[in-house]
Structure 1
Amino acid sequence: MEGEIHGLKTLIMEDTPSAYYIHCFAHQLQLTLVAISKRNDECIWLFDTIAILLNVIGVSCKRREMIREIQAQKIAKALEIDELETRTRLNQELGLKRPGDTRWSSHYKTLLNVMDLFSAIVNVLVIIGKKGSLDDKAKAQGVLYSIESFDFSFMAQLMTTILGTLMICVLLYKEGIKILLML
């Protein structure tokens, strides 16, 4: 889009010389956030722990199904006692997807899903810790120890707050651009 001869920027500048070009704010923000978080030891530890968690649980269809069943039972019980509201797009099934390296929004969604599925994840890790192979038991118990720590809870909450705020900033920026383009 920035090509010097036939790029969008060039075409706009030829048509409207007073136009001001700004490199995509959302992209700059995303790259900056990823670079900074990769230099922070606590962020590295948090996302490494989540990666190990995803490896332990996500490696097996049976384990992913266990999470689905536990979550479905939890939702059914909550609906039974009128603790949850029912409407379109509410109470959707959540999954544990691996976050992309350069997409902070995928890290945000992964963190939210881990937090929402926390009790189901703990239950599955306890089952793996009791009934899994020796290697799986050790990994499950190690991840369980990490995710039940204050440090994990604090960092997960902090990062969801930071990433959620950044997501709002980017949405407001994009809406602002649309409004400016309409003027």
Structure 2
Amino acid sequence: MATMLRFVDIDGFLRERFFSIVNVADTTTATLKKELSDAIGRCDLHIPNMRGQGYDGARNMCGSWNGLQAIFLKDCSRAYYVNCFAHRLQLALIAAAKKEVSIWLFFSKLNSICNLINASLKRHAKLHSAQRNEIAHMVAIGERDTDRGCNQFRNLLRLKKTRWSSNFDSLCSMVDMYGSVITVLENMVDEGSSNSIRGEASGLLIVMKSFDFIFILHLLQKIMGLTNLLCRALQERSLDILNAMNHVSNTKILLHTLREQGFDILLRT
């Protein structure tokens, strides 16, 4: 577990330290408090001088009664807790996605596709083989660059509910390997080891070829490309509240521009 802590000492000077804490036996509140307190003490800092805490929304971290922030608050009444900016963004995105049925269904199907292919080493190998053939074809017709670092084999990345921003990587991998995934699913329909596998692959193949899936895939890639930049900016160590608000405002402007002007371009692609 890696944690960045900021402390203001008695004289009011800001002192920043980065602690990399390893070999934690468990993630209970008592264990985390002990490890953090020991790390703070080794840097000659003092918990009573703490002026703020920032964690994600996990119950053992932000719980009002038994969470880590509540325990530290008992030792220092001015160590007010603020939820992690980046985690708040993730929570907002998750809440928005759940309210839109088509988006919820898209992520559900995307997760099913990733799970089905990644569940078997044989299917994973066939995915790489399909990638190899597709890359060779695209290079031959001049639609892919051949510079160093280009055309690397990729894996179909699973979705992670607790790391919403990482789902952008899953979307990008699906866009990049769309044709290869189609090839693997078609192979499973023809050569699947059981009726259930063939049936599941057939259903997901229909989903992947639908307009709704393709449109939402590219739309979310554009939207999450913007929100991913914001999420990364909110995790910068030197970020203050004014710069955070500027990042949020700029992202809102970019999203509004995408909403007003981006759909025609998206439909043409």
TM-score category by the smaller chain? 0.7 to 0.9
Letter in 2 for 1:152: F
Compared with structure 1, are the counterparts of its residues 85 and 30 closer, same or farther at alpha carbon in structure 2 (3 Å cutoff)?
same
Distance 1:177 1:81, change over 3 A: same
1:96–1:110 contact (8 Å) kept in structure 2: yes
Deviation at 1:123, TM superposition (A): 1.1
Quote the residue 1:8 is aligned against: 6
- 1:141 aligns to what? 202
TM-superposed deviation, 1:81 = 4.5
**Is the aligned partner of 1:85 residue 2:83?**
no
Identity of aligned residues (%): 29
Matches within 5 A, 1:28-177: 28-132=88-192, 133-171=194-232, 174=236, 177=239
TM-score by length of 1: 0.79
Q: Which has the higher contact order (CA 8 A, sep 6+)?
A: 1
Residue 154 of structure 1: how far off its partner (Å) = 1.4
Contact 2:165–2:231 (8 Å) recurs in 1: no
Aligned partner letter, 1:113: S
- Give secondary structure in 2 for the equivalent of 1:177: coil
The normalised TM-score by structure 2 is: 0.56
Deviation string, structure 1 residues 130-161 (Cα, Å, up to 9, x no partner) = 11110001100100111111111111112111
Go from structure 1 to structure 2 and tell me whether the alpha carbon gap of 1:145 and 1:97 turns closer, same or farther (over 3 Å shift): same
Letter in 1 for 2:168: Y
Would you tell me which structure has more helix in proportion to its own residues?
Answer: 1
Alpha-carbon distance between aligned partners in 2 of 1:161 and 1:123, rounded to the nearest angstrom: 25
Give the distance between the partners of 2:92 and 2:99, measured in 1 at CA: 11
Is the 8 Å Cα contact of residues 34 and 104 (structure 1) preserved in structure 2? yes
Count of paired positions: 171
- State the Cα RMSD in Å: 2.8
Shift of 1:118: 0.9
1:94 is paired with a residue of what secondary structure?
A: coil
Cα distance change of structure 1 residues 177 and 44 upon mapping to structure 2, 3 Å threshold: same
Shift of the 176–169 alpha-carbon distance from structure 1 to 2, 3 Å rule, reads farther
Equivalent pair of 1:71/1:117 in contact (CA under 8 Å):
yes
Q: Structure 2: which 5+ residue stretches go unaligned?
A: 15-52, 54-81, 244-269
Deviation at 1:31, TM superposition (A): 2.1
> Greater CA deviation, 158-167 or 73-82?
73-82
Q: What SS does the aligned partner of 2:99 have?
A: coil
